[in-house]
């Protein structure tokens, strides 16, 4: 399973590299949707357990107004966030800053403090538990390749809510995932990105 997971991550890194190379964000979204769909349905390390009968995730229509190229506001108090894990012990994060998204709300930007480090931005919206995963979704997780770009040296991130995706624990209890904290919860509904199927 370790080599399968390594291959999954390699493919995710390659997918996001292709996404960042697209000039049109809507086209980049189509590339992402096709690539993620294939990985979830076919890859041996997919968190989807019943892949033979899985039709792929439902993805909301692209909304260009939900894409932001924003500065990270670092004028925040330092906060440590520790997430207990069934397999990896405690996963430590520290708050790097916050991004302000007009008409949406604020999201904390976290830095993974364990080996290798990485940026992490989850989001939980007003549709959580109905049309979106109850624990929130991920926007950026650079340690695993989910990176939409931005000028890091200038302290900027591309936050595109259309690329919100479910953590692995949304598919299987075998996985333990950091879920969006209160500071990454917004009061608006975000019917974009990866959705929860309507029953």
Query: What ranges do the domains of the chain cover?
Result: 2-195
What confidence tens digit (pLDDT) does each residue in 121-140 have? 999 999 999 999 999 999 99
Rounded Cα gap, residues 154 and 125, in angstroms: 28
Q: How confident is the model at residue 199 (pLDDT cuts 50, 70, 90)?
A: very low
Contact 104, 193 (CB under 8 A): no
Give me the pLDDT at residue 176, please. 84
Give me the pLDDT at residue 116, please. 83
What confidence tens digit (pLDDT) does each residue in 46-70 have? 999 889 889 889 999 999 999 999 9
Single pTM value for the model:
0.94
Contact 119, 97 (CB under 8 A): no
- Cβ-proximal residues to 54 (8 Å cutoff; 6+ apart), any chain: 40, 41, 48
Provide mean pLDDT across the span 11-22: 98
- Strand pairing class (67-71; 105-112): unpaired
Give me the pLDDT at residue 198, please. 57
Q: How confident is the model at residue 35 (pLDDT cuts 50, 70, 90)?
A: very high
Q: How confident is the model at residue 174 (pLDDT cuts 50, 70, 90)?
A: confident
Assess whether pLDDT exceeds 80 at residue 85: no
* DSSP for residue 134: T
Rounded Cα gap, residues 112 and 95, in angstroms: 9
């Amino acid at each position: 399973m370790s080599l399968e997971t390594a291959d999954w991550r390699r493919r995710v890194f390659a997918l996001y590299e292709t996404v960042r190379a697209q000039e049109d964000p809507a086209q980049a979204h189509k590339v992402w949707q096709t690539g993620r769909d294939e990985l979830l349905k076919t890859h041996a390390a997919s968190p989807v357990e019943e892949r033979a009968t899985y039709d792929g995730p439902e993805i909301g229509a692209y909304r260009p107004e939900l894409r932001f190229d924003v500065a990270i506001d670092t004028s925040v108090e330092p906060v440590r966030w520790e997430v207990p894990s069934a397999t990896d012990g405690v996963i430590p994060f520290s708050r790097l800053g916050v991004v302000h998204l007009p008409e949406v709300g604020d999201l904390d930007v976290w830095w993974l403090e364990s080996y290798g480090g990485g940026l992490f931005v989850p989001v939980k919206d007003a549709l959580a538990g109905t049309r979106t995963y109850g624990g929130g979704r991920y926007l950026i997780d650079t340690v695993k390749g989910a990176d939409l770009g931005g000028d890091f040296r200038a302290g900027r991130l591309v936050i595109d809510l259309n690329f919100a995706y479910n953590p692995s624990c949304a598919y299987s209890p075998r996985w333990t995932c950091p879920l969006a904290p209160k500071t990454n919860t917004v009061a608006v509904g975000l019917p974009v990105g990866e959705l929860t199927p309507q029953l």
